[in-house]
Amino acid sequence: MDRLSGLDASFLYLETPAQLMHVCGVIVIDPSTMPQGYSFDAVLAGIDEQVRDVAAFTRKVRRVPMGLDHPIWVQDKQFDIERHVHRLALPSPGGYKELISLTSHLAGLPLDRSRPLWEMWVIEGYDDGKIAIFSKMHHATVDGVSGSNLISHLCSLDPESAPLALEAGGSHGRDVGKRELFGRALVTKLALPVQVAKIVGPTAEGVARTVSRARQGTAMAAPLTAPRTSFNGTITGHRSIALTDMDLEVVRSIKSATGTTVNDVVLAVSGGALRSYLEERGELPTTSLVACVPVSVRELSRRAKGANKVSSLFTKLGTDIEDPLERLQQMSHDNRNAKEHHQAISADSLQDWAEFAAPRTFGLAVRAYAGLRLAEKHPVVQNLVISNVPGPPIPLFFMGGQITALYPLGPVFHGSGLNVTVMSNNGELHVGVIACRESMPDAEALVRRFPEELARLRDAVTALEATATQISSARSTRAKKPRARTTEK
């Protein structure tokens, strides 16, 4: 029997018609590299061949009687690829505007829980002959890293090679009878007090370390201290999507020149873009926006099972700082503290406590929270979620077609109706922005500022280097200048 972890199951419980818990992606493909040319039937058959024996693609959720325990995964014995891979064509002229309009609509549609929790839409007629793949995978089945890996393993290193072998996506769990399922659920319930006793101690230690760091001024940004913005309220099921690109080499050059990290640069650029967006709308808060940044703990976790192995840290984005270089330096300092603070907390803390999420109670609480619009009545937990997911450093081919762009899109939540996800791919950084449409009707107004802010930061670093060079040159000249001799009498 393959039981969902508490964290995986929590994403099912969090889901409502407005708060959809799937992660999406827009993959742009150049079909001219396909050895036999593009054919939807060939793409469909190729995907079917690769996913049919992989549990992550062919298992579905089965609920436990009376909601006594988290659901289990069972094999979908009626798996049909045509229920998961669909075909669409963009209306003329088939450009970027038409693509984001269509994908925004698709992102607002829930997945069918009676089937494996994923879909792909093959979108033809984009950008003078390109193909776009819009993918949706429920967060109960993948996190950022595992979702990226699943997509990558459907790809190959050249047009004519077979797709890379998929890693084991977990075995198909044994489909047990109701009586056994009920009995196992009771045993799990009885064991909960023992589990609580095991994690209370480490949690208390983590809280004590957090309090100590807060007193020393070295703690990460605190949740519930974020200023309120127009995208921090109750969300609807409508989505707004926007996409853009940044040059990874420019980001790396800034990183090297300033002694920061790629993640520091991405967060600083995000802060600058958000500052510019809010300032233009007359909504810029006097204090900095706070972002929740998911962190993979896959290599640190003691848990062998579970699709989601993540934790999170909170960081200020420096939206109260106008100078881009000063913002980056502040981000670097704050992120070092946040990382040290995060490392002092158990990697499995979030997963451990998620085990106690009661299916019925959790679901009712989420619906009550949305119905009463409580997100607008308490302090803002965080303004948005920002993820930075490592992608392939080399060209990849999806069913023979070269991937020219790969834009990730995460979920949005009540109280935090904006998600920014960045993924590297073959020398580029692809930025995907998704928001509640009522909170941010035009996500393009935000995303177009990312390349602009990166250019501002690059120019500021270039000016700093030029000044340093002039000072060094002047010192060198003075050192080489001959000194006047004096004679003693």
Q: Which residues are catalytic?
A: 139
Residue showing tokens 């990730």: 408
The residue among 455, 438, 429, 454 whose CA lies nearest residue 271 is 454
CA 332 to CA 264: how far, in whole Å? 6
Structure tokens of 28? 């742009």
CB burial readout 142-160, b (16+ within 10 A) else e: bbbbbbbebbbbbbbeebe
The residue among 146, 133, 151, 130 whose CA lies nearest residue 27 is 133
Q: What is the largest CA-CA distance in the chain?
A: 113
- The set of residues, in sequence order, having a beta carbon less than 8 Å from that of 376 and lying 6+ positions away, is 233, 234, 415
Residue showing tokens 């970027």: 96
Q: Please answer whether residues 134 and 141 qualify as being in contact, where contact means their C-beta atoms are separated by less than 8 angstroms.
A: no
SS3 for 129-142, per residue?
Answer: CEEEEEEEEECCCC
CA 336 to CA 353: how far, in whole Å? 26
What's the start-to-end Cα distance of the chain, in Å? 102
Q: How far is CA 396 from CA 18, 73, 82, in A?
A: 35, 31, 25
